[in-house]
Chains A and B, each alone.
Chain A
Amino acid sequence: MKVSLKVNGADYERDVEPRVLLAYFLREDLGLTGTHVGCDTSSCGCCVVLMDGEKAVKSCTMFAVMADGHEITTIEGMKKDGKLHPMQQAFSDQHGLQCGYCTPGMMATAIAFLKHNPDPSEAEIRDALSGNMCRCTGYNNIVKAVQQAAAELSAPAAEPVAAS
């Protein structure tokens, strides 16, 4: 079956079998291996990607054909103009990753969460990430990273400094 979708800003048209899951479509058909498959049973959150920029979805629990006409953003598409997304920068600054396996899913989940709750409490962040597992157990720094990103993303854009 034909699907047309946008992934990380680029248009793709592919012929896929309906039973192909989005995670495998991204990894195997498009070669975007930054989306990780952890439990493969909808329990761990490693495979979470962004749909239409604002919804976090488990790509192991969605068929690729369901993404027809939608826009998917994976970890590979978060960087803009050679600059890390504020969430990526925050994970780097706060050491929010150890092995890195859960990181793409954590970031996608956190980005979607901040869209509807731009100024969350620590408890709200922990709740929002409660479906994502980090087996390195590095949750404290992940929460700090989301706090940093929240502050950055909700701050008014800095005025360009006038040349003197």
Chain B
Amino acid sequence: MFPAAFDYIPARSTDEALSVLAQYGGDARVLAGGQSLIPAMRFRLAKPAVLVDINRIAELATIGEHNGELRLGAGARDQGLELSGQILSGRYPLLADVCAVVADPVVRQMGTVVGSLCHNDPAGDWPVAALAGNASIVVRGKGGERVVPIDEFIVDSYTTAVGDGEMAIEVRFPTPDARTAGAYFKIERKVGDFATAAAAARVTLAQDGTVAKAAIALGAAGPCGFRVAEAERALVGAKPSAAAIAAAADAARKAADPVSDTRGTVAYKKEMAGVLVERALRKAFARLGVEDIR
């Protein structure tokens, strides 16, 4: 089905895009890769009156490191990230896991990281990774710019802190230090399907080998991705052990609040949330050289 009619404005610069957004407010949507927005428009789930295409804005298509952060512009695509020097260097294992499994390989050639965050699908990969990766998003409007931590950026299903007349122009992921690693796992019926369950973990080890910091996030387990504070508490201060991992996984099972659908029952999805947290933790620890955890 064809989308409802709309006016198309190909912006040549971020300022031009912001001017158009300021003019049309809530009637306008930003078009980046379009891999979620265009299907939503085709199903008439979205009927924006105006689309502001940002694909031609070179200043937004950037991937680079500044001030201890990996910064991805709103035009940076999943495949561009997957093939970037920063990902190939192995220093961002959590993000490397994610950009290899978003949707399917063809979708990743158009789809953008910031676009996925703005779409904020309950089963989306990037919101989960951004939560576990402690990301922040730069939101700009005509009036100025603010840097929004991911847990404030995510408001509800398909809803973010980006207001009318504003756009998300960049996401920033802190560069992990040598004692920090993460991992991401999801279960999908087939490549490209929505996740049945998804989990991301990030851990930092102290000098004595105990867990200094932990972040655990779930996807497809509620109205939007979320962090599981209880699971994080089970890890911090503990040595990486089977018992600590099991406690974190149990907390994830309890916190998961999925819906029953063709992808699985509530009981199955809750169980898988725990299984994936365990897998993600074991992989993250292994990446820090801690293997065969008993």
Residues of A within 8 A of B (CB): 1, 17-21, 24, 40-43, 45, 48, 55-58, 61-63, 65-66, 68-69, 109, 112-113, 116, 127-132
Contacts and interface: CB of A to CB of B under 8 A. Distances in A.
Contact of B105 (A20, A42, A65, A127): A127
Interface in B78-110: 83, 103-107, 109-110
B86 to A, nearest CB: 16
Contact of A41 (B2, B31, B39, B106): B39
Contacts of A40: 1, 42
Most-contacted residue by chain B among A20, A21, A56, A128 (CB, 10 A): A56
B175 interface: no
A113 B108 CA distance: 12
A129 B190 CA distance: 12
Contacts of B2: 19-21, 24
Contacts of A58: 35, 106-107, 110
Contacts of A24: 2
Interface in B13-45: 31, 34-35, 38-39, 41-42
Contacts, number: 82
Interface of B: 1-8, 10, 31, 34-35, 38-39, 41-42, 51, 53, 55-56, 83, 103-107, 109-110, 191-192
A143 to B, nearest CB: 14
Given A19-B3, A19-B4, A116 B83 contact: yes
A127 to B, nearest CB: 7
B98 to A, nearest CB: 15
Nearest to A56: B106
Contact of A18 (B8, B55, B56, B107): B8
B104 A131 contact: yes
Decide if the interface of chain B is mainly helix, strand, loop or mixed.
loop
B186 to A, nearest CB: 14
B191 A42 contact: no
23 contacts: A18-B8, A18-B51, A19-B3, A19-B5, A19-B41, A20-B2, A41-B39, A42-B39, A45-B106, A56-B105, A57-B109, A58-B107, A61-B35, A61-B110, A62-B110, A63-B38, A66-B34, A66-B55, A68-B10, A112-B109, A129-B105, A130-B192, A131-B103
Contacts of A68: 10
Given A42-B35, A63-B34, A66-B55, A131 B106 contact: yes
A61 B10 contact: no
Contacts of B83: 116
A21 B6 CA distance: 13
Nearest to B37: A61
Given A61-B39, A63-B8, A55 B109 contact: yes
Contacts of A128: 105
A24 B1 CA distance: 11
Contacts of B191: 130-131
Contacts of B39: 41-42, 61
B107 A131 contact: yes
B51 A41 contact: no
Given A61-B35, A62-B34, A131-B104, 12 more contacts: A19-B2, A19-B6, A19-B41, A20-B2, A21-B2, A57-B106, A57-B110, A58-B107, A116-B83, A127-B105, A128-B105, A131-B191
